[in-house]
Amino acid sequence: MKYSLSLISLLLSGLVAVEGLSIFGDSQKVLGGGAVPGDNPLTFCQETHDDDLLTLEKVDLSPNPPKAGEPLYIKATGTLKRDITVDDNAIVDIVVKYGFIKLLSTQADLCEQIKNVDMECPIKKGPITIMKEVQLPKEIPPGKYNVHANAITTDADKKEKDHITCLEATVQFGG
């Protein structure tokens, strides 16, 4: 499961942080907000994401679809509208399902996860580029995976949480 948490965090946290379970395959279902630009199976969770702190410009995975036992190369670019600091208490809520079976439901500290992509908090406002190579385990079971990852700030001093970004993917891995 460390691979799942890490890969989702890379895409969200460096863009907002990960290094993990590669669940991305060759099948994509557009869920609500449209496809994330680039060669990837990601979609935005909602139709409107103009208020997100992170504007994702492009995410490329190579190979796409990834292959078990081989390296996955990730390149993601975006623009952060404001600094994200430790005081923001930024988190990433992640749910991974294998078909209808929930494999993982967790909440991760964004500033901890961002270290997996050689970044640290504060994450400075402006352009962000993440490049990461992840060695995928050959034991990844083939099948349909559903992923939902939502990154927000949870600063107690603010009345409202700031939405960083939310991504989803429904993919078929292997077989």
| Domain boundaries, position 115 | 2-173
- Whether the CA torsion 92, 96, 17, 80 is positive or negative: it is negative
Q: What is the pLDDT of residue 49?
A: 84
Length in residues, the chain:
175
The amino acid occupying position 144 is K
- Whether the CA torsion 82, 85, 90, 96 is positive or negative: it is positive
> Would the pLDDT of 140 be above 90?
no
Q: What is the pLDDT of residue 168?
A: 94
Q: What is the pLDDT of residue 15?
A: 38
Q: What is the pLDDT of residue 78?
A: 97
- Picking from 65-69, 123-127, 135-139, 157-161, which range would have the lowest pLDDT averaged per residue? 157-161
Q: 92 pLDDT band (50/70/90 cuts)?
A: very high
> Would the pLDDT of 16 be above 60?
no
Q: What is the pLDDT of residue 145?
A: 85
The enclosing domain of 136 has a CATH number of 2.70.220.10
**pTM, full prediction:** 0.78
The amino acid occupying position 151 is A
Structural domains of the chain, count: 1
DSSP calls for 78-114? EEESS-B-GGG--EEEEEEEETTEEEEEEEEEHHHHG
Do 55 and 106 meet the contact criterion of CB atoms below 8 Å apart? no
The mean pLDDT value for 18-45 works out to 62
pLDDT, tens digit, 9 for 90 and up, residues 67-91: 788 898 999 999 999 999 998 899 9
| Distances from the Cα of 175 to the Cα of 51, 68, 156, 170, angstroms | 39, 11, 46, 15
